[in-house]
Structure 1
């Protein structure tokens, strides 16, 4: 599988895992950074198998079947060193996690400054990261946007 195919697959599976549209993920400006982080921090054989499995799942036709396959084949901690969970956490928090599924403790490392600012957790919480992306003067006077249905 060539690099361009892997990057497209990374974006497509990230969209399914996070619940955000691919265009929303691209809008964060973090796609390349997160793809590079995943590629450089995951064992090559594990990553090859993960991408093969993700491609086979995304080739399925029905959304419910795809979601069920993701839950059963990618989400267990034992599946591909918890790569799917690490991808979710990376998009939401901007951190790289290790030790998921291990009996020891989970560790995380900030990827870079922009990854924290662009974390999806801020969009979900309808908030902004402290010290960045300020909502603007007087925004406190408006009621918050309703949570997506």
Structure 2
């Protein structure tokens, strides 16, 4: 018989940091812990992230910083390196691949491996959250079933429905801290309008000019020191 504890508790593990990693990933991905555990990739992603940033101690420091930013001023309080790690972890959950880091972050972390994008495992691709985000399925894996092509796909949720769902997760999910609820799931976080000239081109809706390049080539979350170029006077 299934109980509430059956579906809310994580799978058995000897890694004491796994639960915290998944809990912190809810605010990075927008998915509940139930969904993240359901991918079966949590331990693999934790191990991957630890290895890529230089070990368990450095990744724990990132989780500490992320939790403080969730309780305070948001991602603006993160250092450029921690912001880049957050981008990479989110990318990992959504695509199943670890992205190429910004060169400055790669250097600051003193990474002793090639700074290239790679897929975490053969199973991580079909478990990417990107497929769930638009109610699709990965090409070549997890087919929806015979004849389903004839059915209309579900309509995308409205902003109000997304807001209500996130607020419901914040109330029902015991892993979400009270302070994090106030910042990550607050209704005001979804009501503010962004200035059109202040949104990077690769984040705007519509046809994406960068579709022909690898995702890791899209500008990173933070500008890198010393990389700003001045326009030629001629």
Task: Name the structure 1 match of 2:62.
Answer: 50
CA RMSD of aligned residues (A): 2.5
In the alignment, structure 1 residue 109 sits paired with structure 2 residue 118: yes
Alignment partner of 2:99: what SS? strand
Cα 1:90/1:109, change in 2 over 3 Å: same
- Which string of whole-angstrom CA distances, capped at 9 and with x for unpartnered residues, describes residues 15-35 of structure 1? 100011111111111111111
Task: Name the structure 2 match of 1:82.
Answer: 84
Measured in 2, the distance between the counterparts of 1:146 and 1:139 equals 15
Instruction: After TM superposition, list the pairs within 5 Å mapping 1:19-98 onto structure 2.
Output: 19-44=30-55, 45-57=57-69, 60=71, 68-69=73-74, 71-74=75-78, 78-80=80-82, 82-98=84-100
Whether the 8 Å contact between 1:49 and 1:80 is mirrored in structure 2 is: no
Measured in 2, the distance between the counterparts of 1:42 and 1:103 equals 10
Structure showing the higher helix proportion among its residues: 1
Identify which of structures 1 and 2 has the higher relative contact order when contacts are C-alpha pairs closer than 8 Å and 6+ apart: 2
Alignment partner of 1:132: what SS? coil
Measured in 1, the distance between the counterparts of 2:60 and 2:45 equals 16
Cα 1:145/1:10, change in 2 over 3 Å: same
Q: Which moved more, 1:115-124 or 1:79-88?
A: 79-88
What is the TM-score normalised by the length of structure 1? 0.79
What is the TM-score normalised by the length of structure 2? 0.52
Task: Name the structure 1 match of 2:134.
Answer: 125
Measured in 2, the distance between the counterparts of 1:103 and 1:9 equals 24
Cα 1:57/1:80, change in 2 over 3 Å: closer
Whether the 8 Å contact between 2:50 and 2:58 is mirrored in structure 1 is: no
For the pair shown, which has the larger CA radius of gyration, 1 or 2?
2
Deviation at 1:140, TM superposition (A): 1.1
Deviation at 1:146, TM superposition (A): 1.3
